[in-house]
Structure 1
């Protein structure tokens, strides 16, 4: 194990070499097939702001307007129609499917155990079910279950009670996923809630979620919830889809519950919260970053939370926010002892390279680097004087040829990370 020292005064000398550095095509994380929004897109150009990080949406309706549809197609978004209650319009769903043959899912009744939503007992929902099932069979579409939340319907406040009774009346095999909603402000409580629905052994669709409890007092507290919640939802293989509620609503962006992803005045932009939702990691494990490409800190392929989820547990991990550095989208922060992130790298030639970390810290921070699970180096990042004062750590490290997973683990101290880069000498 080697110990490298770096910080504000680090100086690296490079020797001249007749061989010019190699350059490779830049790589980028793939968009998550899970990540979506529950949103009506009243301002249709919002598709261009959200589509870089969002792959699907629904609007509680059986179809979308022709004008919106043009944007949806050009921005490669998937739309799923909904049968909101038992009086759904089968002809509109039928027409949408006819013009969009690749649309494969119908979302069933919205929050039937809430009296101000679909407001249906399991028996009432089961009575309406045959017509929805017949429509899905006719169109070759799959049905996602009624979307459940904790409710206000007498006797059915618990969504599991409602679903258990419903599936005594309707075959579980009729649905290809279980839809749930969650507005808890604790990511751990949300994870426990999700696990309650494992019993149905179906893919889970979190079709509405954000933190909507009184302890959410700022955009920053909503942003911390979002970081943990999205990292969890991406990590849990039983979760097939999730949709943030809601990109834009009637109140000010900085008003309770602080969940809006888009600004309110033209020219419209992503809010700070929206930047996190659109740009944070998709846990893409198929993309490897080449030498000489800057790897944004938010593009980790895994983090310590994912290991906990695999073991059936939950833990909070690093958080994300728009960077205070001179450039970049997001920074990793709250990066403390025993937390780690991983990045996938593609090394074309075995030799010594320059590792460059762009960081800020009020502590002297020790990080352990490992490659494919084997120790690579231990490095010291000297404190920069503040979490908002940024500096570059530079060190020469030997990397073997091949595609690798580089883990950065904080062993002591804590830091913020904006980006990393491996360059040829």
Structure 2
């Protein structure tokens, strides 16, 4: 019998066994935006508690041989997150044509390591002409096809980040790409003073409950990860941990939600 959601995870650099023990009964995976887990929490420790670490190649600056060595040393890892928020300055800002040139490097690693590609991690951005994630995707797919004999890029799952109301509608907008989703960052950080602002723990708990229920219900959502474990200041009441190995009220709520 499954004792926890296979979809549920966190976007946070888990670094201690105490934190792992506090949350392991309610999550099945996590990532830390890096290509390897924190030195304080080797992959074997988290995997032994039923929590998979998933590497991310955040942008184009990675060393293929090192990444392949990590995958071959940890054959239990079957997925690779790639390209974090390519439409946002300060993140992995990557024009569609540049991403098309980068993608064969991801595909080469995926082929050699036998892992699936999860990405890019889309969201609404700041790139002129490509603020909408679907517009960026259309241009990226076209640029890849033009450079690769009309072929489509390998995208096994599409990543998405969302920090407001309306997650269902956003996923519906991207459903035409025909890929299952990993919602690799989500919370509600609605700040507009319009009566719907998230300004209390109870409001965030309500939003978490609704979004988790949506992700659990939708067959096209394969994985999802709450952002984040700890943050200071925390104006939207998002943190899942307090002290080392101590879940916050929201953290206890997250791992208690039905699946």
Give 1:341-356 correspondences, 5 Å limit: none
Higher strand residue share = 1
How far apart, CA to CA, are the structure 2 residues paired with 1:49 and 1:164?
A: 42
How far apart, CA to CA, are the structure 2 residues paired with 1:240 and 1:172?
A: 21
1:142 aligns with 2:121: no
Equivalent residue pairs, number: 247
1:270 aligns with 2:243: no
Aligned pair in 2 of structure 1 residues 41, 32: CA closer, same or farther (>3 Å)?
Answer: same
Shift of 1:66: 4.6
How far apart, CA to CA, are the structure 2 residues paired with 1:141 and 1:173?
A: 15
The answer on whether the counterparts of 1:62 and 1:92 sit within 8 Å (CA) in structure 2 is no
Partner residue in 1 for 2:194: none
Aligned pair in 2 of structure 1 residues 66, 95: CA closer, same or farther (>3 Å)?
Answer: farther
Gaps (5+ residues) in structure 2?
145-150, 192-196
How far apart, CA to CA, are the structure 1 residues paired with 2:160 and 2:224?
A: 9
The answer on whether the counterparts of 2:141 and 2:153 sit within 8 Å (CA) in structure 1 is no
Aligned pair in 2 of structure 1 residues 272, 29: CA closer, same or farther (>3 Å)?
Answer: farther
Structure with the bigger RCO (C-alpha within 8 Å, sep 6+) is 2
RMSD of Structure 2 on Structure 1 (CA): 1.5
Partner residue in 1 for 2:224: 242
Secondary structure in 1 matching 2:57: coil
Partner residue in 1 for 2:161: 181
Shift of 1:172: 4.1
Which structure: larger Rg? 1
Of 202, 218, 221, which residue of structure 1 is paired with 2:200?
A: 218
Partner residue in 1 for 2:170: 193
Shift of 1:182: 0.3
The answer on whether the counterparts of 1:63 and 1:92 sit within 8 Å (CA) in structure 2 is no
Higher helix residue share = 2
Report the TM-score, using the length of structure 2 for normalisation.
0.90
Give 1:61-76 correspondences, 5 Å limit: 61-69=34-42, 70-76=44-50
Give 1:45-56 correspondences, 5 Å limit: 45-56=18-29
Give 1:11-410 correspondences, 5 Å limit: 30-69=3-42, 70-170=44-144, 171-172=151-152, 174-184=154-164, 186=165, 189-214=166-191, 215-251=197-233, 255-263=234-242, 265-266=243-244, 268-282=245-259
